[in-house]
Amino acid sequence: MEPETRDEPETRDEPEAGDDQGCTVYGFYDQDLTHKTILVGDSGVGKTSLLVQFDQGKFIPGSFSATVGIGFTIWDTAGQERFRSVTHAYYRDAHALLLLYDITNKSSFNNIRAWLTEIHEYAQSDAVIMLLGNKADMSSGRVIKREDGERLAREYGVIFMETSAKTGVNVDLAFMTAAK
C-alpha cells in the first residue's frame, strides 16, 4: 500500500455553468483505501477550520466563504440552506459524518436534531456519525454545556466529543475515530 497523499486545496471562486456557488475542494486520497467523511453543521460552526487543522495542523483566523468539497474523501459542507440538495446526494456514500455545532452558539446546537434527522434519512445505516461540540477553547463564551452534547449524542446513539479547531484539541482523534 502506498502512503497517503494530501492534496492542496483547489479553490474555484467563479461558479461554473449550472453551478450557483464557488467550491473549495479539499481532502486526502489514498488510491488503495477510500474513506468518505463529510463535515456537516450550520454555517460558522468551524467545519472548514477543523478540516484545515486536521490537514495542515494550523488555525487560520477569519471567516471562510461557503465551501462544499466535491471529489475527494473529506467533504466540508457549507451548512447553508442553498447547498442542502447537494449534500443530500453525498450522504448516501459517506462512511462517516462529523456533525458540528458551536459551543458558543445556541442555535447551532438547537439545529442538531434537524441535521441528525436528515443524516438518518439519507446516509447509509452503517455510517459512523459523530457529534462534535467545536470551539472548546472558548470556554468563557460557552452557552452549551458539555453534558447537553453528551445527552443528545446518547439519545441518537452517536459518538460525542468536544474539539477546538483553534488549538487542535481532539481534532486528529475525531478524524481517526471516524475512520475506524
Look at the chain and report how many structural domains it folds into: 1
Report whether pLDDT(33) > 80.
no
Non-local (6+) Cβ contacts of 102 within 8 A are 42, 44, 45, 46, 108, 109, 134, 135
Is 129 contained in some domain?
yes
pLDDT tens for each residue of 3-18: 444 444 443 333 333 3
Given pLDDT bands bounded at 50, 70 and 90, which one contains residue 64? low
The three-state secondary structure class of 17 is coil
CATH number of residue 80's parent domain: 3.40.50.300
Q: Of 55, 115, 41, 47, whose CA–CA distance to 76 is shortest?
A: 47
The answer to whether residue 2 is domain-embedded is no
**Alpha helix locations (H) across the chain?**
47-56, 84-91, 106-110, 112-122, 146-156, 171-179
Handedness of CA 39, 163, 169, 157 (dihedral sign): negative
For 49, the grid coordinates are 477550520
- Please give the backbone phi and psi of residue 43, each rounded to the nearest 5 degrees, phi first: -60, 135
The SS3 call for residue 56 is helix
User: Is residue 114 domain-resident?
Assistant: yes
31 within some domain: no
Does some domain include residue 9? Answer: no
Q: Which domain holds residue 127?
A: 36-179
Question: Which is more confidently placed, 18 or 86?
Answer: 86
pLDDT tens digits, 141-180? 999 999 999 999 999 999 999 999 999 999 999 999 998 7
- Classify residue 169: in a domain, yes or no: yes
pLDDT bracket for residue 28 (50, 70, 90)? very low
pTM above 0.85?
Answer: no
Q: 25 or 80: which carries more pLDDT confidence?
A: 80
Q: What is the rounded average pLDDT of the residues 97-119?
A: 95
**Cell output for 70:** 466535491
- What pLDDT score was predicted for residue 75? 46
